[in-house]
Structure 1
Amino acid sequence: MAHLCGLCLTLRDRHGHLARLVTNYDGLLVSVLVEAQAPELSPHRRAAPCALRGFSRADVVDARAEGARLAAAASLALAAGKIGDHLSDRDGVYARPLVGAAARRVAERWSRASDHEAAALGFDGEVLRDALARQPLLEARGGLTLLELTEPTETAVSAVFAHTGELTGKPHNAPALAEAGRLFGRLAHLLDAVEDLEADRRNGAYNPILATGTPLAEVRRLCDDAAHGIELAVADLDLERRTLVRALLVGEVRRAVARTFDDHRHGTEHPPGEVPKVRSFFVVCPAELCKICTCGWYQPKWSPNRGKSCRERCECPCDCCDGCSYCNNCCDCCRCCKRCDCDCCDCG
């Protein structure tokens, strides 16, 4: 949470309130990797109360931290590229002239901000721009394999991960970081395609799995292989603080793979002719806001965590914790199951 909130506030302080919209969980990994290699380059501060964490103060990574700044640059570039894809495909509201013009201006502003931030950190933003430009060209070509379509994402993430080794004065980490980034980029691309598979099939939208005709079993194999490769790459890293990196890039990655394929399987198990219920934005938004402001205590009736105990929700794989972040009742070694600072378990 210190890295997630730190990324959000770095975007706000350096690029304006609107830039906070690009805050994402994948981006914070860059900040985590910098702190894990050189904690002194990741100063923290006490942040003011925020509605998204239940109006409580929190320890967050400072906007001066080079890891948070690199994460912000990468997040802005990827968000600008995604807007560009929607504009070129004329998706939904992006097909409307006024919305499209406003979105184009925002994308251009974020792209310039990303280039400026990356240059200040010695990172070549051209790598990200080139990857984003090549992706739609590959998709339009046809006849490519699934891994050929994920290559631009792999290249972009690999470059960003590898640069954290340069920032922290540990260039010997760059090969392992590049490999971890390449496989993480592949995994993120594939999981995103699996999540969107049924919606893209119904809407006739482009999906790399559908375009290549790859069986879902083969996609799962590629994801499992990528997760295993990431684990091996992380084991080769020279880190001052290893626990959080392992928790996110090993434990959470494997859970994300299992969760995504389980959700897809359950989402397709409907009787013939049954249409899955689509909930209104005006129903989902207040419910999700209530869940956030109560730190997960409230769960809407459609939530998979509804009715589960705190222990079941946190999915902690070890036996040393008696509670989790939902009830804040934990053993001495773990402040909560998600933020273990010791090496007694793999809960992270």
Structure 2
Amino acid sequence: MFGIVRPCRHRMCGKLHAAWLGHLCGLCLTLRDEHGHRARLATNYDGLLVSVLLEAQRPAEYRSAAPCALRGFRSAPVLAPTDPGARLAAAVSLVLAAGKTRDHVIDRDGALRVPALAGVAGRLADGWAAAGARTGAGVGFDTGVLWDAVARQSALESAVVPGGSVLVATEPTETAVAAAFAHTATLAGRPGNAVGLAELGRYFGRIAHLLDAVTDRADDAARGAFNPLLASGTDLAQARRLCADAHHGLRLALADLELRDRRLVRALLDREVGDAIERTFALAGASEAGGTPLAASGGSGDASRHGPDRGHGLPIVPHAHTAQPAGQPGEAAATRPDGCGGAMVTGGACVLTTCTCGLWQPRWSRRRREGCGDRCWCTRHCDCNCCDCCDCS
């Protein structure tokens, strides 16, 4: 899981954001109650998608949580640790966090070059793996499919060559996410949704893996680390098309599901994923336009010889929620407006547009001359007529 679904409070209406936060806090508290405070480090934004999908198919169990600093010291209704959705999300998060930590230990990344610290991290990963397996077994989910995906990732990365398909490297992620999503149909007692949920998971896993590779592309090239895009010779335009196709497939799979309430699922897996695609490629394009160099060795296919960065396998990397560039896809990356530094202008536009929920648009935005309701994100994307952010009247 990659942390691409992380809604901003000002880009989602109040009730939907509160519902999302109930799942996030529920996952965090379930990890604490089941496995202790250290397990809360495994909390990640995409892991809670399984509990959201389960609640969309059957009612969830909630409880009142005590005030928390991350909620502004307010109490809130959150998913109960006894809810199967929260427990499945916890199991998935723990196992994937364990896999990510083990990979860092093997690669001796950063401070883990120190043997003592590597030993501590390795023991922590082993504990998380065992805890995830126990919690998964409690809801009938075999976490072995996740471990199998982690184990196959490195071998498949070695098979990625220039001119080959970058999707060879995304397959383990697709398989792991598909299994987790499909299991929610079993827990919900809706077996007819299993095939559609597996397809939904495959598309989401593909998008998440590709976006992670796009985000790390320049850094991996500079370090000589493995990156599936560079190793296969896939440029940004090709990666963008793959993400667009997968997003289209994701939307079709989502439409075919039998759900009791699809509002939050649609907001996260349709709108937020689409926004993440636009944001990631706009910022990647702006970075290249600003002159970020790509090492010549990055696309040679030999990157894996330097020690693969398994961060593109099944990582838990909750990326910071960067503001969506204003306007339509690619607008922020087009040219440097008014001859100014592209990165500074684009970043400033992101901040201003986000702070005004899209009401302010830069001069290069196609929405600049549209009406208030068309510019405001809350008005355009509200699913439940409960927006409390802007009064465009």
Partner of 2:368: none
Contact 1:158 1:182 in 2 (8 A): yes
Q: CA deviation at 1:192?
A: 0.5
Q: 1:265 to 1:313 in 2, by over 3 A?
A: farther
SS at match of 1:196: helix
User: Match of 1:116, as an amino acid?
Assistant: R
Residues 1:212 and 2:264 are matched in the alignment: no
Residue of structure 2 in register with 1:164 after alignment: 184
Contact 2:359 2:375 in 1 (8 A): no
Give the stretch that moved more between structures: 164-173 or 75-84. Answer: 75-84
Question: Equivalent residue of 1:312, what SS?
Answer: coil
Please say if residues 305 and 313 of structure 1, whose CA atoms lie closer than 8 Å, have aligned partners that are also in contact: no
Query: Which 5+ residue runs of structure 1 have no aligned equivalent?
Result: 274-287, 289-301, 325-329, 339-348
- Of 111-120 and 210-219, deviating more is 210-219
Check conservation: 2:193, 2:258, Cα contact below 8 A. Answer: yes
Distance (whole Å) between structure 2 residues aligned to residue 50 and residue 213 of structure 1: 46
Identify the residue that residue 192 of structure 1 maps to in structure 2.
212
TM-score (norm 2): 0.72
Q: CA deviation at 1:310?
A: 3.6
CA contact (8 A) 1:10 1:69 kept: yes
Aligned to 1:228: 248
**Offset of 1:136 from its aligned partner?**
1.2
- Structure 2 distance, partners of 1:321, 1:304, is 14
2:290 corresponding residue in structure 1: 270
1:237 is paired with a residue whose SS is coil
Q: Give the C-alpha shift of residue 319 in structure 1.
A: 4.2
Secondary structure of 2:25 counterpart? helix
**Which of 348, 351, 362 is the matching residue for 1:306?**
351
Distance in 2 (CA, whole Å) between partners of 1:147 and 1:322 is 36
Q: Percent identity?
A: 53
Match for residue 386 of structure 2 among 310, 316, 334:
334
Residue 278 of structure 2 corresponds to: 258
**Residue 139 of structure 2 aligns to which amino acid in structure 1?**
L
Q: Could you report, residue by residue, the CA deviation over 1:212-244 in whole angstroms, capped at 9, with x for unpaired residues?
A: 111211111110011111100000101001111
Aligned length: 305
SS at match of 2:261: coil
TM-aligned CA deviation for residue 129 of structure 1: 0.8
Query: Following the alignment from structure 2 to structure 1, what is the Cα–Cα distance between the partners of residues 280 and 376?
Result: 27
CA contact (8 A) 1:115 1:125 kept: yes
Q: Which residue of 1 aligns with 2:32?
A: 12
Q: Which amino acid aligns with 2:101?
A: I
Map of 2:333 onto structure 1: none
Residues 116-148 of structure 1, C-alpha deviations (whole Å, 9 max, x = no match) = 011111111111111111101212344352111
Which one scores higher on RCO, CA 8 angstroms, separation ≥ 6?
A: 2
Deviations 1:259-295 (A, max 9, x none): 110111122232589xxxxxxxxxxxxxx9xxxxxxx
CA 313–131 in structure 1, closer or farther in 2 if over 3 Å, else same: farther
Deviation, 1:164, is 0.2
Alpha-carbon distance between aligned partners in 1 of 2:359 and 2:90, rounded to the nearest angstrom: 30
Return the match for 1:3 from 15, 23, 30.
23
Q: Structure 1 residues 215 and 43, CA, compared in 2 at 3 Å: closer, same or farther?
A: same
Give the superposed CA RMSD: 2.9
The correspondence for 1:52, drawn from 40, 56, 70, is 70
Cα distance 1:166–1:18, how it changes in 2: closer, same or farther (>3 A)?
same
Q: Is the 8 A contact 1:135 1:149 kept in 2?
A: yes
Tell me how far apart the structure 1 counterparts of residues 217 and 125 of structure 2 sit (CA, whole Å). 26
Q: Distance in 2 between matches of 1:314 and 1:186?
A: 33
Aligned to 1:76: 94
Q: Which residue of 2 aligns with 1:97?
A: 115
Report deviation, 1:35.
0.3
Task: Write the mapping of 1:244-255 to structure 2, written as runs, cut at 5 A.
Answer: 244-255=264-275
Instruction: Quote the offset at 1:49 in angstroms.
Output: 1.3
Compared with structure 1, are the counterparts of its residues 18 and 313 closer, same or farther at alpha carbon in structure 2 (3 Å cutoff)?
farther
Superposed CA deviations along residues 180-215 of structure 1, whole A, max 9, x for unmatched, are 001101111100000111111111111111111112
2:61 is aligned to 43
Task: Judge which range, 47-56 or 23-32, deviates more.
Answer: 47-56
Change over 3 Å in CA distance of 1:95–1:121 after alignment to 2: same
For residue 306 of structure 1, what is the amino acid of its counterpart?
Answer: V
Distance 1:215 1:51, change over 3 A: same
Segments of 5+ residues of structure 2 without an aligned counterpart are 1-20, 294-319, 321-346, 362-371
Return closer, same or farther for 1:219/1:70 CA change in 2, 3 Å cut-off: same
Q: Which amino acid aligns with 2:358?
A: E
CA distance in 2, matches of 1:96, 1:303: 40
Cα contact 1:321–1:331 (8 A) shared by 2: no
Q: Is the Cα–Cα contact under 8 Å of residues 83 and 107 in structure 1 kept in the other structure?
A: yes
Conserved in 2, the CA contact under 8 Å of 1:320 and 1:331?
no
In structure 1, distance between residues paired with 2:36 and 2:348? 33
Matches of 1:238 and 1:18, distance apart in 2: 37
Q: Partners in 1 of 2:383 and 2:178 — Cα distance?
A: 37
Describe how 1:117-196 pairs up with structure 2 within 5 A. 117-143=135-161, 145-196=165-216
